[in-house]
Chain A
């Protein structure tokens, strides 16, 4: 701060002395702006290097604690407590010959893009070295693009990589679903994308089709938002590319606006809109959680009963299932983290199972998937910091994060994996892939993690994409 004031008085104040104010306020302001233009470049220096010499590494964490996406951030308080108690965060990290303290600042986006930008700017202004963000494109895209603009390293998760990539100027998705154009410099992410959703869902469709008289018509409930548009553009073509003999036909329910409350016409389309007036026995979507509650209740009332519903972005968390009650029985979704995964923390060695048990013991209710991804954000942050010589060098840290390769709470993450297997390979440098498994909601049981029975629990029913994770349930039709 001092340097800012000094540079200001050295370069600018003489100019202010000869200033003549016009009669009108507008003129005054315009004049002042012109005179102060010279100062802009001087201000540059101090803002960008405010924290260069500090012995503290500041990390900002941005998530939707309140609002429509609040469930994603439900375990934040617990995860952050665990993270802060782990060695690097509690005792500091030695980089080069210097010992740095690590400080985490948490910010809530209220599930709104503009608040996300606002809090990100606040964090950047407070001199953070790195920003971590999680939970849906509505949160991560505004945060990531703001960081790119202000040249601050940023790591995102729980966002399909296609939506993430498309958020940057100059970055595009090719018709084949690959990452093209110029990607971001200061950003990286780990999660998965449309091909993994396909690789997770379609094997379940095929098994149900063998089991029942399920047809090949797939109902698509995709909203007009980042996720919805990414899915609409990519899902059906990707299914066609990976399963050319599948013969699936897709019926789009229309690009509805988020937080719509009446889905009657869409339900009617799914009931009779397929070829020959047939119903869609398979169902996929990626709505906001409250929208799925409305849709699914109305679908049940209006007797739209797909044989298998494979949903994305919703039914990830127990609160969704509790709210729908018995209507949630056998709804299938993806799980990027489960207590049944054989993975463990790279910070403490704690297993995924013990991590979830501790969460449940601490009285937070049933385990949720986002606790794993949020945990891994901080693991990868440490991995990135271990690869630099000066943690305050923003470009170096950003580049280090784009090459992290480690095993942690969400399994192996390689941010720059070259592989012949298109499912595993990084679409671009700085995008790490984790492999989800198929889960279904079933009545809880004491045999599951933590030996506590909850009303509804997720069990792993399909591991086509990730054989590390053992099955602990049987795939059943959503509606027999």
Chain B
């Protein structure tokens, strides 16, 4: 028996690497993309950068939902709880005089803190019961927020602290804030999945019982992921609150957010980092082209989700990967047989 060392170049021994292609391509590609997207407000029409902003918000949410459902096996239909709480935390801090842009990390942290006790309630349930309970959590949050007059109650409240900015400043600052949050979330998720915890999550995703028997502490890994996902959705809620000056509980706690996250992750490919991003791109392309047909575009979305769930359960990215064995953001390892 011989021991395989990753990266060893012994002749005749199998070697292990992250990707089939050189990581240089990915790195250079990512760099170019980051530069282009950072400059976007100055090089594309305002219309496009505003669409991009909504796209980033969806990417953040979908990436977080994918972390929950795709990796940790927790199907949540109540993530809008943290979007709403993130938005309202931002409103709260802004009403207390904090600059709205500075509140983003504060709101993120607030959501993470709220998520910890919530996990102790939710983790007593599994599967479908867990999903329904997350919805209950979200509705409870909605009712509580709606009863606080300081935050505008059910009427909603205007986000303070933005009125002194010029329209172009508002647009540019909120674009950059959204983009940076999206970048941090996606990069963070990528690094997380490459870490030891990522390995634990992959093992839970593939077979929970086997992971348990191998000594994985499933419960605490899940708790950590739930808290991270809540923080991420809180950040999405915070940037949402900044990009949309009037905050109403029924709109930020809308279950449509959960539906969008679910749809995008499923279409793109659950359990991959690229999936939610591909799904979000598809969602926005479809939305932009089909919106003019009114309610029909929702019917088309629904049918698409059914078709993908039945015939391509691993999503678009899953199909691509099976066929080409390519990875944009590799988190696993490939074993190469010696030739």
Which residues of A does B touch, CB under 8 Å?
Answer: 1, 4-5, 8, 12, 21, 25-26, 28-30, 32-33, 36, 39-41, 43-48, 50, 65-66, 108, 112-114, 117-118, 121-122, 124-126, 137-138, 141-142, 145-146, 149-151, 163, 166-169, 223-226, 228-230, 255, 257-258
Q: Tell whether, in the assembled complex, residue B47 and residue A122 are in contact, meaning their CB atoms are under 8 Å apart.
A: yes
Q: Tell whether, in the assembled complex, residue A8 and residue B167 are in contact, meaning their CB atoms are under 8 Å apart.
A: no
- Report the bound CA distance from A168 to B159 in whole Å: 10
| Residue B46 CB within 8 A of the other chain | yes
Q: Tell whether, in the assembled complex, residue A226 and residue B244 are in contact, meaning their CB atoms are under 8 Å apart.
A: no
| Residue B30 CB within 8 A of the other chain | yes
- Report the bound CA distance from A452 to B43 in whole Å: 57
Q: Tell whether, in the assembled complex, residue B47 and residue A112 are in contact, meaning their CB atoms are under 8 Å apart.
A: no
- Report the bound CA distance from A454 to B41 in whole Å: 54
- Report the bound CA distance from A41 to B252 in whole Å: 31
Q: Tell whether, in the assembled complex, residue B153 and residue A126 are in contact, meaning their CB atoms are under 8 Å apart.
A: no
- Report the bound CA distance from A138 to B298 in whole Å: 21
Q: Which one, B168-176, B211-219, B222-230, B314-322, is touching chain A?
A: B168-176
- Report the bound CA distance from A48 to B166 in whole Å: 9
Q: Tell whether, in the assembled complex, residue B251 and residue A112 are in contact, meaning their CB atoms are under 8 Å apart.
A: yes
Closest to A137 in B: B155
Q: Tell whether, in the assembled complex, residue A125 and residue B39 are in contact, meaning their CB atoms are under 8 Å apart.
A: no
- Report the bound CA distance from A141 to B252 in whole Å: 15
Quote the shortest CB–CB distance from B198 to chain A (angstroms).
18
14 CB contacts below 8 A, A to B, read A44-B169, A47-B168, A48-B168, A50-B46, A66-B298, A113-B244, A113-B251, A125-B47, A146-B244, A167-B158, A168-B158, A224-B154, A225-B155, A257-B142
Q: Tell whether, in the assembled complex, residue B34 and residue A29 are in contact, meaning their CB atoms are under 8 Å apart.
A: yes
Q: Tell whether, in the assembled complex, residue B46 and residue A47 are in contact, meaning their CB atoms are under 8 Å apart.
A: yes
| Residue B45 CB within 8 A of the other chain | yes
Interface readout for B234-253 with A: 1 if CB under 8 Å, 0 if not? 00000010011110101110
Closest to B170 in A: A149
Q: Tell whether, in the assembled complex, residue A142 and residue B168 are in contact, meaning their CB atoms are under 8 Å apart.
A: no
Contacts of B169 in A (CB 8 A): 40-41, 44
Q: Tell whether, in the assembled complex, residue A114 and residue B154 are in contact, meaning their CB atoms are under 8 Å apart.
A: no
Contacts of B105 in A (CB 8 A): none
Q: Tell whether, in the assembled complex, residue A5 and residue B251 are in contact, meaning their CB atoms are under 8 Å apart.
A: no
Quote the shortest CB–CB distance from B216 to chain A (angstroms).
29
Interface readout for B276-297 with A: 1 if CB under 8 Å, 0 if not? 0000000000000001001100
Q: Which one, B177-185, B261-269, B305-313, is touching chain A?
A: B177-185
Total interface residues on B, using CB and 8 Å? 56
- Report the bound CA distance from A167 to B147 in whole Å: 18
The listed residue (B54, B184, B251) touching A26 by CB distance below 8 A is: B184
Contacts of B51 in A (CB 8 A): 122
Quote the shortest CB–CB distance from A387 to chain B (angstroms).
24
Closest to A120 in B: B244
Contacts of A149 in B (CB 8 A): 162-163, 167, 170, 245
The listed residue (B38, B50, B172) touching A40 by CB distance below 8 A is: B172
Contacts of B251 in A (CB 8 A): 112-114, 138, 142
Contacts of B143 in A (CB 8 A): 257
Q: Tell whether, in the assembled complex, residue A121 and residue B50 are in contact, meaning their CB atoms are under 8 Å apart.
A: yes
Q: Tell whether, in the assembled complex, residue B42 and residue A169 are in contact, meaning their CB atoms are under 8 Å apart.
A: no
Contacts of B1 in A (CB 8 A): none
| Residue B24 CB within 8 A of the other chain | no
Contacts of A40 in B (CB 8 A): 168-169, 172-173
The listed residue (B170, B180, B298) touching A29 by CB distance below 8 A is: B180
Contacts of B168 in A (CB 8 A): 40, 43-48
Is chain B's interface secondary structure helix, strand, loop, or mixed overall?
Answer: helix
| Residue B99 CB within 8 A of the other chain | no
Q: Tell whether, in the assembled complex, residue A12 and residue B38 are in contact, meaning their CB atoms are under 8 Å apart.
A: no
Which residues of B does A touch, CB under 8 Å?
Answer: 30-31, 34-35, 38-39, 41-43, 45-47, 50-51, 54, 142-143, 146-147, 153-156, 158, 160, 162-163, 166-173, 176, 179-180, 183-184, 187, 240, 243-246, 248, 250-252, 254, 256, 291, 294-295, 298
Given contacts A228-B154, A257-B143, contact A118 B54 (CB under 8 A): yes
- Report the bound CA distance from A47 to B143 in whole Å: 39
Contacts of A226 in B (CB 8 A): 154-156, 248
The listed residue (A36, A46, A108, A145) touching B246 by CB distance below 8 A is: A145
Given contacts A26-B184, A149-B245, contact A39 B154 (CB under 8 A): no
Closest to B161 in A: A169
Quote the shortest CB–CB distance from A142 to chain B (angstroms).
5
Given contacts A117-B244, A257-B143, contact A150 B167 (CB under 8 A): yes
- Report the bound CA distance from A125 to B243 in whole Å: 14
Closest to B173 in A: A40
The listed residue (A21, A141, A150) touching B156 by CB distance below 8 A is: A141
Which one of A5, A50, A169 has the highest number of Cβ atoms from chain B below 10 Å of its Cβ? A169
Given contacts A36-B38, A66-B295, contact A229 B248 (CB under 8 A): no
- Report the bound CA distance from A40 to B41 in whole Å: 9
Given contacts A166-B155, A229-B153, contact A113 B248 (CB under 8 A): yes
Contacts of A41 in B (CB 8 A): 169
Closest to A30 in B: B180
Q: Tell whether, in the assembled complex, residue B246 and residue A65 are in contact, meaning their CB atoms are under 8 Å apart.
A: no
Closest to B250 in A: A258
Closest to B188 in A: A26
Quote the shortest CB–CB distance from A63 to chain B (angstroms).
12
Contacts of A28 in B (CB 8 A): 31, 34
Which one of A1, A25, A33, A168 has the highest number of Cβ atoms from chain B below 10 Å of its Cβ? A25
Quote the shortest CB–CB distance from A321 to chain B (angstroms).
23
- Report the bound CA distance from A161 to B57 in whole Å: 33
Contacts of A8 in B (CB 8 A): 42-43
Which one of B153, B156, B243 has the highest number of Cβ atoms from chain A below 10 Å of its Cβ? B156
The listed residue (A32, A48, A117, A255) touching B154 by CB distance below 8 A is: A255
**Apart from A117-B246, A169-B158, 16 more pairs, CB < 8 Å:** A29-B180, A32-B35, A32-B39, A36-B38, A40-B172, A43-B172, A44-B166, A44-B169, A112-B256, A114-B244, A117-B243, A125-B50, A137-B155, A141-B246, A145-B158, A229-B153
Quote the shortest CB–CB distance from B81 to chain A (angstroms).
15
Q: Tell whether, in the assembled complex, residue B250 and residue A225 are in contact, meaning their CB atoms are under 8 Å apart.
A: yes
- Report the bound CA distance from A5 to B45 in whole Å: 10
Contacts of A39 in B (CB 8 A): 42
Contacts of A25 in B (CB 8 A): 30, 34, 183, 187
Q: Tell whether, in the assembled complex, residue A150 and residue B34 are in contact, meaning their CB atoms are under 8 Å apart.
A: no
Contacts of A166 in B (CB 8 A): 155
Q: Tell whether, in the assembled complex, residue B171 and residue A33 are in contact, meaning their CB atoms are under 8 Å apart.
A: no
Contacts of B254 in A (CB 8 A): 112, 114
Contacts of B38 in A (CB 8 A): 29, 32-33, 36
Contacts of B252 in A (CB 8 A): 114
Q: Tell whether, in the assembled complex, residue B244 and residue A224 are in contact, meaning their CB atoms are under 8 Å apart.
A: no
Given contacts A28-B34, A40-B169, A149-B163, contact A113 B176 (CB under 8 A): no
Quote the shortest CB–CB distance from B86 to chain A (angstroms).
13
